[in-house]
Amino acid sequence: MPDNQEQAGALGRFLAAQLTPERIRTWRIIFFLALAVIALLNLVITNHEPHFGLDRYPFFWPVFGLVVGTVMVFLVKKIVQPLIGRPEDHYGDI
Amino acid sequence: MVTSSFYHPSIAFLMTAAVLPLLPGNRRWKWLLLIAPLAAIYGAFTNQPGDFLTLTWLGQTLKFGHVDRLSLIFAQVFAVMSLAGILYSLHVDDRGQHIAAVLYVAGGFGCVFAGDYLTLFVFWELMSVGSTFLVMLNRTRESVLASFRYFLYHTVGGLFLLGGLLLRYKATGTFDFTAISPAAAQPYDFLILAGFCVNAAVVPLHAWLPDAYPRGTVTGSVFMCAFTTKTAVYVLARAFQGWEILAIAGTVMAVYGVLYASMENNARRILSYHIVSQVGYMVAGIGVGTAIAVNGASAHAYAHILYKGLLFMGAGAVLYAAGTQKLDELGGLAARLPWVMVCYMVAALSISGMPLFNGFVSKNMTIFGAAEAHQTFVAMGLEIAAVGTFVSVGLKLPYFAFWGGKRTDWKRELKPIPRNMYFGMGLLSVLCIAQGVYPALLYNYLPFPEAVHEYAPWTAWHVLQACMILGFSGLAFYAMRRVITPHKALNLDFDWFYRLVGKALYLIVSRPAAWFDGVWTDVWNVLGLRGLMGSAFGSTVFDRHVIDGIVDNTAYGTRGAGRVGALPQNGRLQYYLGLMTVLALGIFALYFYGVL
């Protein structure tokens, strides 16, 4: 509805403008560059007090975040939820 | 309840609840709601450690004002949260909701300052009643049903606590609310622990929380997400510090909550599961029991109340505006609700432990405390939960609520969000960032000041570590965004077992008990009723022939004796003298012969 678009504030207009394919591509590049910078910094800034053994090596935490996040999503959505998912009104109290 | 050096915050909230129904119908009464939280903030930041407000009642000493650093830090964040919550709910005209909220908050403060189990129990139950109404007053069928389940469950939890404290009193002779050593624990201590664990949503006693909180009122759930579980964290920290079973339970909670949150479609249910997860950090810190771990748990409770309140405010604002909290029905709203999105993201980054936000300080302090205590599995479990937290609350929920891969939805009708809701969100956003940037705002109030410098959050390594974990968790979300796309479903949880127990009890009542009742009725009709009629007939006969006979003959005897007694009373003096002489001689004769 044009009214809603016209009434949007500056922040709303800015956010709406970010949804073009070009801007999305730009944000994606910024995100990947940031990840690369963070990972490379791990070669310079290291953990002097490792608690888990492997965390004394560089790139442990990037790998940890990526692997745990991926495995967790796959596990719950592809294995657990098909087993325990039921229709929303399963208990008949909606 | 004010002394020269102590102000009990509950009193203003209780007075507000008492006065609200009596005020006239215009909306000016709403401003009165702000008095109690402002007074609470004054009290929480000025009260000094000590014991105040003791009352002797039925031979017991009730301690309403036990103040130390642990109670003060919880009272402070309760006070701040009560102000933010009431600001957020000022537009609500339903006085019942406000009364329930202030009673609930009063209960929370009462628990925090309770110095004995009896006082604690009274305020504990007050919280239970107040929060039940915060769910019920959403006034939908599912809310009312959920509120009854919630109340039933908390009543059972309260009975655990009551049984434990009474047995403890019988054994020890005191209701004092003090630390319990795990080495000297008795069965009644485990009953008390079970009562506390119900409110702390310790898995598997947690399922009431994701059942009730998503069904509460928009504003009521903001209060509930802050007080019930954190009051339980406080009482666990006071009584059960260093119980290793809590370290394990907390780690299980932290991971379990994020797993369910990753599956859920309902925004406020996702946040509810994250309460379970985040309270898990606190329970684990308490279980580890070292000074730095308990400091971490307390700091995390403080930070959590602020950002979780803000998360529920953001999700509640979306629900208020769009009329749904289901992620598959949302999306394309970032440009329509930009400031709601910004405030939500402040909370999302806080809960995820992003540098510059308060969770970065408190969460890492708790994990550090566990690791330093050589509880490696606990620390690793909490790190795994941190990844899940960012994936589900930091990315999944806001992505599908505000973007969802859709263009801006300009056509959707959105209900305008009242300014006061923005004020509430703004206040908490500022505090989340302020504590992250300036950790002294947290550090100054931690229960063990001697241990606060064991962990320094703002080091290059801690900042980089947080950025690595969160950045690459974000990459995992990006890679799996189509897999994690939410859809309508009810995910079975432990409430399936609760309902099973409820059904079993219902069956016991409705089948064997009903059968026995029917048989008993037949037996009664055949034997009991005839026996009753027979005994009634016997009673009548007995009454008529025995009782009446005795009564009648007593009356006849009295009348005859009266007539005989009246004969000598003829008014002649010589007869009286003669009669007295005969009586005197008779008595003398009896005495003379030794009878008297």
Per-residue model confidence as pLDDT tens digits over A19-65: 999 999 999 999 999 999 999 999 999 988 888 889 999 999 999 99
Q: Which residues on neighbouring strands pair with residue B2, listed in sequence order?
A: B7
**Given B194, B214, B240, which residue is the final one in a domain?**
B240
Are the Cβ atoms of A11 and B342 closer than 8 angstroms?
yes
Structure confidence by residue, pLDDT tens digits, B67-122: 999 999 999 999 999 999 999 999 999 999 999 999 999 999 999 999 999 999 99
Residues B289, B225 within the same domain: no
- Residues B130 and B63 placed together within one structural domain of the fold: yes
Q: Is A62–B471 a contact, with Cβ atoms under 8 angstroms apart? A: yes
Which band of pLDDT confidence, cut at 50, 70 and 90, is reported for residue B371?
Answer: very high
* CB spacing of B387 vs A41 below 8 angstroms: no
Residues B335 and B433 in one domain: yes
Contact A93 B259 (CB under 8 A): no
Find the closest chain A residue to B374 by CA distance: A51
Percent of chain B at pLDDT exceeding 70: 99
The number of CA neighbours under 13 Å toward the Cβ of B317 is 31
Q: Do B338 and A15 touch (CB under 8 A)?
A: yes
B248 and B205 within one domain = no
- Least confident stretch, B89-98, B113-122, B375-384, B529-538: B529-538
Q: Residue B491: its chain A contacts at CB < 8 A?
A: 81, 84-86
| pLDDT bucket at B19, cuts 50 / 70 / 90 | very high
Q: Give me the pLDDT at residue A84, please.
A: 96
Which structure tokens are listed for B500?
A: 């099973």
Query: Environment class of residue B530 by beta-carbon count within 10 Å: exposed (0-12), middle (13-18) or buried (19+)?
Result: exposed
Same-domain pairing of B95 and B124: yes
Pick the residue of B408, B458, B485, B497 with the most A CBs within 10 A to test the interface with A by mutation.
B408
Distance CA A73, CA A82 (A): 13
Same domain, B447 and B409: yes
- Asked if residue B266 and residue B192 are part of one domain, the reply reads no
Closest CA to B193 of B68, B129, B182: B182
pLDDT on residue A2:
58
Q: Does B434 touch chain A (CB under 8 A)?
A: no
Domain end (from B457, B476, B493): B493
Classify residue B23: in a domain, yes or no: yes
Q: Is the pLDDT of residue B552 over 70?
A: yes
Name the nearest CA neighbour of B311 among B363, B273, B346, B279.
B346
B465 and B564 fall within a common domain: no
Please report the pLDDT score of residue B564 as a whole number. Answer: 79
pLDDT in tens, B39-71: 999 999 999 999 999 999 888 889 999 999 999
Q: Per the CB < 8 Å rule, is A72 touching B259? A: yes
- For residues B190, B191, B194, B196, the Cα torsion angle rounded to the nearest 10 degrees is -100
Q: By mean pLDDT, which of B118-132, B289-303, B420-434, B561-575 is the weakest? A: B561-575
Put simply, the answer to whether A72 touches B464 (Cβ < 8 Å) is: no
Q: What is the mean pLDDT of residues B473-494?
A: 96
SS3 B334: coil
Residues of A within 8 A of B334 (CB-CB) are 15-16
Average pLDDT on B437-458 reads 93
What ipTM is given for this predicted complex?
A: 0.95
Distance CA B394, CA B407 (A): 21
**Contact across the interface for B469 and A61, Cβ inside 8 Å:** yes
Q: Which of residues 516-545 of B touch A (CB under 8 A)?
A: none
Grade residue B320 by pLDDT with cuts at 50, 70 and 90.
Answer: very high
Whether B50 has its CB under 8 Å from any CB of chain A: the answer is no
Does A88 sit within 8 Å of B490, measured CB to CB? yes
Whether residues B545 and B489 fall in one domain: no
Are B126 and B272 members of one domain?
no
Residue A11 at interface with chain B, using a CB cutoff of 8 Å: yes
Chain B residues 239-258 with a CB less than 8 Å from chain A: 258
**Token pair of B555 as six digits:** 């009356």
Does the residue B514 lie in any domain? no
Residue B529's Cβ-count burial label (10 Å; 0-12, 13-18, 19+) is: exposed
Which sequence spans correspond to the domains of chain A? 1-45, 52-94
Distances (CA, A) of B118 to B65, B79, B237, B339: 13, 23, 18, 45
For range B290-315, the mean pLDDT: 97
- Confirm whether B513 is domain-assigned: no
pLDDT in tens, B180-232: 999 999 999 999 999 999 999 999 999 999 999 999 999 999 999 999 999 99
For residue B462, CA distances in Å to B312, B356, B365, B370, B458 come to 28, 12, 10, 16, 7
Q: How far apart are CA B476 and CA B469, in angstroms?
A: 11
| B281 contacts B328 by C-beta, under 8 angstroms | no
Res B323: pLDDT: 95
The pLDDT confidence band at residue B272, using thresholds 50, 70 and 90, is: very high
Residues of B within 8 A of A48 (CB-CB) are 461
The torsion region of residue A59 among left (phi > 0), alpha (psi -120 to 50) and beta comes to left
Distance CA B393, CA B412 (A): 24
pLDDT over 60 (residue B593): yes
Q: Taking CB atoms and an 8 Å cutoff, what residues of chain A touch B464?
A: 38, 41-42, 45
Is the CB of residue B21 less than 8 Å away from at least one CB of chain A?
Answer: no
Interface test with A, best of B215, B410, B496 (most A CBs within 10 A): B410
CB B202 within 8 A of CB B248: no
User: Considering only residues 27 to 86 of chain A, which have any Cβ-Cβ distance to chain B shorter than 8 Å?
Assistant: 31, 34-35, 38-39, 41-42, 45-48, 51-52, 61-70, 72-78, 80-81, 84-86
Nearest to B371 among A51, A66, A69 (CB): A51
B502 interfaces chain A, CB cutoff of 8 Å: no
What is residue B3's predicted lDDT score, i.e. its pLDDT?
Answer: 52
Contacts of A91 in chain B (CB under 8 A): 490, 499
Q: Which phi and psi angles does B394 have, rounded to 5°? A: -80, -30
- A90 closest CB neighbour out of B262, B464, B490: B490
DSSP state of B57: E
DSSP bridge pairs for B51: B66
Quote the pLDDT of residue B583.
87
Helix-helix angle B69-88:B95-113, to 10 degrees? 170
The boundaries of the domain holding residue B76 are 1-240
Residues B250 and B327 in one domain: yes
Kindly list the residues from chain B whose CB atom is less than 8 angstroms away from the CB atom of residue A90: 490, 492
CB contact under 8 A, A86 and B263: no
Q: Which residue of A has its CA nearest to B384?
A: A68
- B residues 460-499 near A, CB within 8 Å? 460-461, 464-465, 467-480, 483-484, 488-493, 499
CA–CA gap between residue B412 and residue B415 (Å, rounded): 10
* Token pair of B101 as six digits: 């909220």
B441 lies in some domain: yes
How does the average pLDDT of chain B come out, rounded? 93
The answer to whether A88 contacts B338, with C-beta atoms less than 8 Å apart, is: no
**Number of domains chain B contains:** 3
- The Cβ of residue B310 has, within 10 Å, a number of other Cβ atoms equal to 31
The token duo for B356 is 């510059």
Q: Are residues B377 and B487 located together in one domain of the fold?
A: yes
- Chain A CB contacts of B146 below 8 Å: 93
